[in-house]
């Protein structure tokens, strides 16, 4: 393959720019050309495509977000959208496509692959909710951002002897809550994979107080329910005067951590290797610290993501 395309799609994640940079630089190193597609699948269908040079990706490795922009474009689930997308790729002479994004973006790459257009999926989402990989680009940055906020909340929670519920992102997955819960020394972690019993949560808070704990911090994954709704349930049981913090979109932004930049660079370069060999229809992952290549159809059809639930058990053992 001589000419490839790259796009970012779905929710943006810190480290996406580092991945695009690696795709461009590695491709140029291999004597290939790279075209950037703006606004994900929306831009693909609209033909919003341009050649990327070495300089276009300069000064990008440290920036959050994605300079190719992202978009939600549900129409790409239709045959018409997909055929139009392939037509645009062919119009620009693009022979293979790197898709950086989450689960939904992978579905688009899967659809193109099934129609005979070679794609490589790179897992990029703060939620870490993609099958076939231990980590996704953006997850490490996000948990560090959340941790920074949790440390600040802990200072004030301790000073006033309060119960805090902190709602964190993650969509349907509990990864962000599990990692930041353990890292911050939170008293309780509530994730969709486990569920909860509100009376047990209340009992734990009371027990903590009896043991002399100055605060109670509960990390709630957004996939369970909203923080305010959860706090209302707790306050209905006892007079906890629960304080709620919904961290929201601060969790998405910021400069990527070293780990995310390295991971993004490894994934970007590997995607080029794969396409150079003329392969497609795959997605990349990191498993036991090794970059791996999997069949995208097989991965989406047969694999599911499960967070590391050992962290849940660990937190129960060491948080009280």
Closest-CA residue to 311 (of 163, 115, 176, 147): 176
Residue of 29, 50, 53, 77 interacting with ligand ADP (CB under 6 A): 77
Among candidate residues 12, 127, 129, 140, the one labeled active-site is: 127
CB 244, min distance to ligand ADP, A: 26
Alpha carbons 198 and 156: distance in angstroms, whole number = 24
Q: What residues pair up with 163 in beta bridges, in sequence order?
A: 216
x/- contact string, 33-52, with ligand ADP (CB under 6 A)? -------xx-----------
* Terminal CA-CA length for the chain: 57
Alpha helices in 101-138 (DSSP H): 103-114
Are the beta carbons of 82 and 112 closer than 8 angstroms?
Answer: yes
Q: Is 107 annotated as a binding residue?
A: no
Are the beta carbons of 276 and 199 closer than 8 angstroms?
Answer: no
Identity of the residue, 215 or 252, whose beta carbon is nearer to ligand ADP in the bound complex: 252
Q: Is 72 annotated as a binding residue?
A: yes
Span near ligand ADP by CB under 6 A; candidates 87-95, 101-109, 140-148, 153-161: 101-109
Q: Is 170 annotated as a binding residue?
A: yes
Alpha carbons 41 and 29: distance in angstroms, whole number = 27
DSSP assignment letter at 255: P
H helices, E strands: number in the chain: 11, 11
Identity of the residue, 125 or 188, whose beta carbon is nearer to ligand ADP in the bound complex: 125
Residue of 74, 93, 248, 278 interacting with ligand ADP (CB under 6 A): 74
The answer to whether residue 146 forms part of the interface with ligand ADP (CB under 6 A) is no
Span near ligand ADP by CB under 6 A; candidates 28-36, 102-110, 176-184, 237-245: 102-110
Alpha helices in 16-138 (DSSP H): 16-29, 40-46, 79-91, 103-114
Number of chain residues interacting with ligand ADP (CB under 6 A): 19
Q: What residues pair up with 101 in beta bridges, in sequence order?
A: 123
127 an active-site residue? Answer: yes
Dihedral sign of CA atoms 123, 126, 129, 135 in order: positive
CB 70, min distance to ligand ADP, A: 8
Residue numbering of the annotated binding site? 11, 21-25, 72-73, 102-105, 125-127, 154, 162, 169-171, 185-187, 211, 213-215, 222, 243, 249-252
Catalytic residues: 127
Residues in touch with ligand ADP (CB under 6 A): 9-11, 40-41, 72-74, 76-77, 101-105, 107-108, 111, 125
């Amino acid at each position: 393959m001589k000419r490839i395309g790259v796009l970012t799609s779905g929710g943006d994640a810190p480290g996406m720019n580092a991945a695009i940079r690696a795709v461009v630089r590695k491709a140029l190193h291999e004597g290939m050309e790279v075209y950037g597609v703006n606004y994900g699948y929306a831009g693909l269908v609209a033909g919003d495509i341009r050649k990327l040079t070495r300089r276009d990706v300069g000064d990008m490795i440290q920036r959050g977000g994605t300079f190719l922009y992202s978009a939600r474009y549900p129409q790409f689930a239709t045959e018409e959208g997909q055929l139009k997308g392939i037509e645009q790729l062919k119009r620009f002479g693009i022979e293979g496509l790197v898709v950086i994004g989450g689960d939904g973006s992978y579905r688009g790459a899967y659809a193109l692959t099934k129609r005979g257009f070679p794609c490589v999926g790179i897992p990029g989402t703060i939620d870490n909710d993609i099958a076939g990989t231990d980590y996704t680009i953006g997850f490490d940055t996000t948990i560090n951002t959340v941790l920074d906020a949790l440390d600040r909340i802990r200072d004030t929670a301790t000073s006033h002897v309060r119960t805090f519920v902190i709602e964190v992102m993650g969509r349907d997955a509990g990864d962000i809550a599990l990692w930041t819960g353990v890292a911050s020394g939170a008293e309780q972690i509530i994730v969709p994979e486990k569920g909860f019993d509100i009376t047990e949560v209340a009992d734990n808070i009371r027990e903590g107080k009896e043991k002399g704990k100055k605060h109670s911090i509960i990390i709630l994954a957004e996939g369970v329910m909203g923080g305010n709704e959860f706090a209302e349930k707790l306050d209905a049981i006892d007079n906890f005067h629960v304080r709620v913090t919904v961290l929201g979109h601060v969790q998405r932004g910021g400069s990527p951590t070293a780990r995310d930049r390295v991971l993004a660079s490894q994934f970007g370069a590997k995607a080029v290797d794969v396409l150079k060999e003329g392969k497609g229809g795959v997605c990349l992952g990191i498993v036991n610290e090794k970059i791996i290549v999997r069949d995208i159809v097989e991965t989406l059809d047969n694999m599911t993501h499960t967070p590391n639930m050992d962290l849940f058990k660990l937190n129960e053992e060491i948080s009280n």
